[in-house]
Structure 1
């Protein structure tokens, strides 16, 4: 097989499309995560409730809290609290929650903007890797990632 072999160029093109698709998927996921955080904050703001919560447990994937609502009901959200950075077990913290869905709770004063740094850097580093890789794959595919159109012979 020579470097200009059509089968080899096709393999490089497929690789380029795979890299492009993966980079776009990661970028979309980052955007959806930030949008989801914005929606959660909007829901909490529309049906605002406030309380003081005790941090029950801090793990790598969530921070569990317990708080009481004005109606005397105790809540311990299964998914934990939103924006838990810096919390430690036993700590008392002010929280805001959605009164129609008390399991949707965030640390008071923290917003969806905190998601922009991790999601933005994830998207940035994705494209810092994908960009040069796409350039390399495109060069190996003969300068393009779309297959060349076959020309139909002119009618005689």
Structure 2
């Protein structure tokens, strides 16, 4: 029994400082998660804008069929490019909201890379609204949590309230 108690005490001495350090910085960890989510959304929007610019710079237009097998993460389409090749972009089509399998839709694609395609008339602005909602909800949820953690850590410090 004494050996077991000693082992528990040693484990507490070993893990205790790390656990206390995590408790001290947990509010910063929560805010760090919010910052990472915000940056990921910003990079996603920037990537969409770059793709749009590349499509617009070398634009081709085609009629595409929305295929079965589409998922929430990608919508597959099949279209014929100017030289007669049939393309099914591996990553799907950009801005697919509202498309259903079996329907036809106009797509704009990059003539230099036909696998880069978007639904005609849609742009990175289409992706902006959902990403902004994600950012707002992230901060609305995590900022109060971080503030509450700081208050619990330093209940007498009025600057943290």
Q: Which TM-score band applies after superposition, normalised by the shorter structure?
A: 0.7 to 0.9
Asked whether the 8 Å contact 1:12–1:140 carries over to 2, the reply is no
Specify which of 145, 151, 154 is matched with residue 139 of structure 1: 151
Higher RCO (C-alpha under 8 Å, 6+ residues apart): 1
Aligned to 2:90: 78
Match of 1:41 in 2: 52
Deviations 1:58-98 (A, max 9, x none): 32221111111111111111111001111111111110000
Unaligned runs of 5+ in 1: 1-6, 146-156
Distance in 2 separating the partners of 1:84 and 1:13? 44
Unpaired segments of 5 or more residues in structure 2? 1-17
Show the counterpart of 2:64: 53
CA distance in 1, matches of 2:55, 2:135: 27
How far off its partner does 1:109 sit?
A: 0.1
* Separation in structure 2 between the aligned mates of residue 89 and residue 23 of structure 1, nearest angstrom: 36
- Root-mean-square deviation (Å): 2.1
Q: Is the 8 A contact 1:10 1:141 kept in 2?
A: no
Report runs of 4+ in structure 1 exceeding 4 Å deviation. 7-11
Q: How many residues were matched structurally?
A: 140
Q: Does 1:119 align with 2:131?
A: yes
Q: 1:10: how far off? A: 4.6
- Say which structure is richer in helix: 2
Q: Of the candidates 15, 18, 30, which is equivalent to residue 19 of structure 1?
A: 30
